[in-house]
Amino acid sequence: MKILHTADIHLDSPLRSLALRDAELRETVMAASRKAFSRLVEVALSEQVSAVLIAGDLFDGRERSARTGAYLAGELDRLRAAGVKVFYIKGNHDAENPITGSLDLPDNVHVFDARGGKVQLTGEVWVHGVSFAQKHAPDSLLPRFQPPVAGAVNIAMLHSSLAGAEGHDVYAPCRVADLCAMGFDYWALGHIHKRQVHSEAPWVVMPGIPQGRDIGEAGPKSASLLTIEHGTITVEEVPTSVVEFRHSTLDISGTEDDDALRKLLHGHLSDLRQSIFAPTGVVRLTLTGQSKRYWQILRDRDVWTEQLGDMMRAAGDLWLDKLVLDIAPHEIDATNTAKTSDAISELSATMQAISSEPGFISIAREEVSAVLQDLPPALRARLMPDEAARDALTQELAQGGVNRVLALMKGVENT
């Protein structure tokens, strides 16, 4: 018998990426959560699983539409036609989503309620689960589980932050040791978006999100395929993401000219494309090292950004999320900094002094705040959650302006 375990699908979640400025990519990225769920269904059908476990957060908060409900019902009906049962517990996002209370799901879907319960999948396997009744679950849900069925394989479904994880609110807290002590053979967890196998005896598995939503959820995403044979469970990781976000770093030290840099970039992107198994890759590329072309690269940042975009598409459905320049002048150039023209040196000192003056900082803060006010509230909250973040952004922009002016001048001087 095979069973597919997934969680945190976040259907129609609004993916956030700098790459959304590319109109060609936008449609692919915005449809990624649905396509990933369809891929899960394809895996279930091809592997001829007996059941699919959805351990919470099938939906995304209060995001809702009739199209979402129609799409989901159609995919679940494909599983019903193949005789695949679906077991679903509501997580914190589902508990606040209006769709989950009114959607008429196919009869192959069993939704566990907040009181908890168990369902016999076969004579050998029982599935237990507890849903969230409300968005917040500050207390452990373990007392709501019924005891395992003796002589059977018992699978328990729980949406939980466990003992806590960075970037995730605390929900239904418990310890892995508590789970292991309850006598279940497999804990099908959800909530934490990073895959982790906490234990193998018994199995305690957080499958992670099946589709990353932005560069903060970079890397390949997957689900867990269980095989039950003679009462023993084995677990296999299966890929699910259709768009993979990726951080990548390239040391450009030693490149003598632009042609050498382009050659290095082409080779790096070719290797990167082969390492990304998803159909589409979105990359945040950081260039490091010391370069003789330091000032020219800073001066021509926009040109390099455009060139990289073209190189990535030529490498095979790769897209640039952002180009990060963490490079330094070549040591010879750094030694000879004092030999630059008096005008540039004087301008550099003046701009640095101005950028640290209280009056300038106050005006810059107001300018930054005014620009941020025009952004959507959710994006504004991410960029400026508090005054410290606003001040840091102001300083970063001011220093970036200084560097930009110097690059325009030194880039010409050193050509």
Report, in this order, helix, strand and coil percent for the chain, each rounded to 5: 40, 25, 35
CATH tag, 2-241: 3.60.21.10
Measured CA distances, 92 to 123, 190, 209, 240, 321 (Å): 32, 10, 15, 23, 30
Quick one: pLDDT at residue 373? Answer: 78
The 10s digit of each residue's pLDDT in 143-167 is 999 999 999 999 999 999 887 666 5
In what order do the strands lie in the sheet containing 117-120? 117-120, 125-129, 153-159, 186-190, 203-206, 196-200
Residue showing tokens 């945040």: 284
Please state, in angstroms and rounded to a whole number, the distance separating the CA atoms of residues 127 and 336.
Answer: 71
Please state, in angstroms and rounded to a whole number, the distance separating the CA atoms of residues 382 and 220.
Answer: 24
Quick one: pLDDT at residue 22? Answer: 76
Bridge-partner residues for 86, per DSSP?
A: 52, 109
pLDDT confidence tier of residue 200, bands split at 50, 70 and 90: very high
pLDDT confidence tier of residue 131, bands split at 50, 70 and 90: very high
Quick one: pLDDT at residue 96? Answer: 52
Please state, in angstroms and rounded to a whole number, the distance separating the CA atoms of residues 307 and 165.
Answer: 39
pLDDT confidence tier of residue 137, bands split at 50, 70 and 90: confident
- For 23-71, the DSSP string reads HHHHHHHHTHHHHHHHHHHHHHHHTT-SEEEEES-SS-TT---HHHHHH
* Mean pLDDT of the chain, nearest integer: 86
The length of the chain, given as a count of residues? 415
Question: What single DSSP character describes residue 172?
Answer: S
Please state, in angstroms and rounded to a whole number, the distance separating the CA atoms of residues 240 and 50.
Answer: 19
Find the range with the poorest average confidence among 43-57, 207-221, 249-263, 319-333.
Answer: 319-333
pLDDT confidence tier of residue 345, bands split at 50, 70 and 90: low
Please state, in angstroms and rounded to a whole number, the distance separating the CA atoms of residues 266 and 270.
Answer: 6
The 10s digit of each residue's pLDDT in 240-276 is 999 999 999 999 998 989 999 999 999 999 999 999 9
The 10s digit of each residue's pLDDT in 103-118 is 678 999 999 999 999 9
The model's pTM is 0.81
pLDDT confidence tier of residue 392, bands split at 50, 70 and 90: confident
* CATH 3.60.21.10 domain position(s) in the chain: 2-241
Residue showing tokens 């044979």: 229
